[in-house]
Structure 1
Amino acid sequence: MLIFKQSRCIALLVSVILVSFSAISLMNPEGSAATGENVIEMGKLKSVSHTAAEAIVPGTKSAIHRTSASSSTIIPMLYTTAAEPVHTWARMVSAGWLSPEKLQRQNAVKKGTAEPKAKVTVVKATPSAAQALKKAAKGTTSVNKVKAATQQHPPATLFFSRTKLLSQEQQAEATWSYAVSEEDLLLLQKIVMAEAEGEPYQGKVAVANVVLNRLRSANFPDTIHDVIYQKSQFSPVANGRLKRVKPNADSIKAVNAALMGVKEVTDDTYFFLSLTLAQDLTVHHSRTLLKTIGNHTFYK
């Protein structure tokens, strides 16, 4: 007591130690007996195997550690495997090719869909409109007949009035007729080829029209042969080209069309020439120009 009285620091230190022990005793009221109980509990755990420990806490692993080299107390250490997730989510993505059967089914479904029907309105034609349609149909039919005939065989007989070449349907109006021989037909095809080989199809028909117009006119010879071979009229006759040429398909077709009544120039057209090739331009200066087709200029 005398020492405590002499040193207050020692007294304070002792009091602090006493307070600490009292606090420890309050937290563990069993005191020194707790140590023995703990040893007993650890002894019970010695008989627990690893499998039993894992059964107590699922998803855990057990490990046995010794507290010290001299102590025989075994303390099981339980821990969870944090690296392995308990639930594993797997995203399944399914992909597949369309089989031909599936495609056929899809096409069948598309074809089976009903399409809306369009409304059809019927308009009745007036009597005047109906007559106009009939006339147009007749005109189309006649043109088609002429085209079909020109592609097959030309007529064997030509019919003329005083002013024009008539069609086969107009033969009742004819003032005279002309029988076309094989020689006439070949000469007509050759003169068209010789004069208009490089010209368009309409130009070939127009050359044949000029020959037939001269045949009809009283101012020229009365046969196709004489019209073509008339002196100083067609340059291919003078230079011999007429004998050398062989008619092509366009020339034959153009002659057949002209014989059937197709006209690219009027019935009063009797002359034609090429302004770039002709050496004598008397016709150009003395006659009336009617039409130009390709390189040829036609006059009456």
Structure 2
Amino acid sequence: MLIFKQNRCIALLVGVILVCFSAISLMQPNQVAEGKIDNLQMDKLQSTSRASVINYLQEESKSSKTRGTTKVSQTNKLYSTVNLFSSTWKPEQSVEWLSKNKIKPQNTSQASIVRVKADVAQSNSAAQKATAKKSAQTVVKTVSASQKNPLTTLYFSRTELLSQEQQSKATRRYAVSEEELLLLQKIVMAEAEGEPYQGKVAVANVVLNRLRSANFPDTIYKVIYQKHQFSPVANGRLKRVKPNDDSIKAVNAALSGVKEVPDSTYFFLSLKLAQDLTVHHSQEYVKTIGNHTFYK
């Protein structure tokens, strides 16, 4: 304090430096709040202020040599004091300033709502998939059960064979006897023994389509034994065959409503073996399965 009293110019200079620092802080409050203080500018300001003080002291030291040793010693003490002050005082560099992004509150409630909605949608989707899978499994089990245990009652409309669920729309009901069931299995075996499974189902479809149609007999027995219709009846093969598993399954599938050909399909023949091609030339083509061609 004695040094500052004796050298008022130095005290004034130090005061100016402190005022400069305060003015800088007041003029740039936004940068200070956001942690954007330019470290390079602060270092430059510090080094500039320190150099100014040192230069002033050096000049004072030179001028004081002519005025006596007492003045020199006082000046040296002041010089060392300012050096100590300038070297020890530094702005805190480890302080982490808070920015707007850091202090901005996060909208956690909206994110939670979005997350909950996503979880609900995912659970609903999973529930729908589980329901669809369960329904498909139920349908498969129903068809499999009907194929193992053939339906004994058929429901017809004027244009198609109906499923059990559509029986309210039926215009005709037909009860299949055990003899007719065996006869239907045997005609499928005799006509399509070497054909693919779909071809066996299609042959059973043709017999049931004729049973429904008013242009053909009204019982399975009469449909199969109608003259000049099925070659195994004429050559006696129908009586000799024994239905295999595929033939039995194909008949049960056709009785349960599985259709490999449309309800309007009434004819089929093998173009390789048939001697009479009247059907081929007179009827409309539907599809070919294996060696059999089907017509309506």
TM-score, normalised to structure 2, is 0.57
1:102 maps to none
Gaps of 5+ in 2: 1-117
1:251 aligns with 2:251: no
1:239 aligns with 2:235: yes
1:298 maps to 294
1:142 aligns with 2:139: yes
User: Which of the pair is proportionally richer in helix?
Assistant: 2
1:199 aligns with 2:191: no
Q: Structure 1 residue 173: deviation in Å?
A: 1.3
Q: Structure 1 residue 124: deviation in Å?
A: 2.9
- Equivalenced residues, count: 179
TM-score, normalised to structure 1, is 0.56
Summarize deviations over 1:226-278 as a string: whole Å, max 9, x none. Answer: 00000100000011110111111111111011111111111111000000000
User: Which of the pair is proportionally richer in strand?
Assistant: 1
Q: CA–CA distance in 2 between the matches of 1:154 and 1:228? A: 19
1:274 maps to 270
Question: In structure 1, the residue corresponding to 2:155 is in which secondary structure?
Answer: strand
How high is the sequence identity, in percent, across the aligned residues?
75
Letter of the 1:250 counterpart: D
Q: Structure 1 residue 138: deviation in Å?
A: 2.4
Letter of the 2:251 counterpart: V
Question: In structure 2, the residue corresponding to 1:279 is in which secondary structure?
Answer: coil
Summarize deviations over 1:80-113 as a string: whole Å, max 9, x none. Answer: xxxxxxxxxxxxxxxxxxxxxxxxxxxxxxxxxx
Bigger radius of gyration, 1 or 2?
A: 1
Q: CA–CA distance in 2 between the matches of 1:135 and 1:163? A: 31
Q: CA–CA distance in 2 between the matches of 1:175 and 1:128? A: 41
Gaps of 5+ in 1: 1-120
Q: CA–CA distance in 2 between the matches of 1:201 and 1:279? A: 25
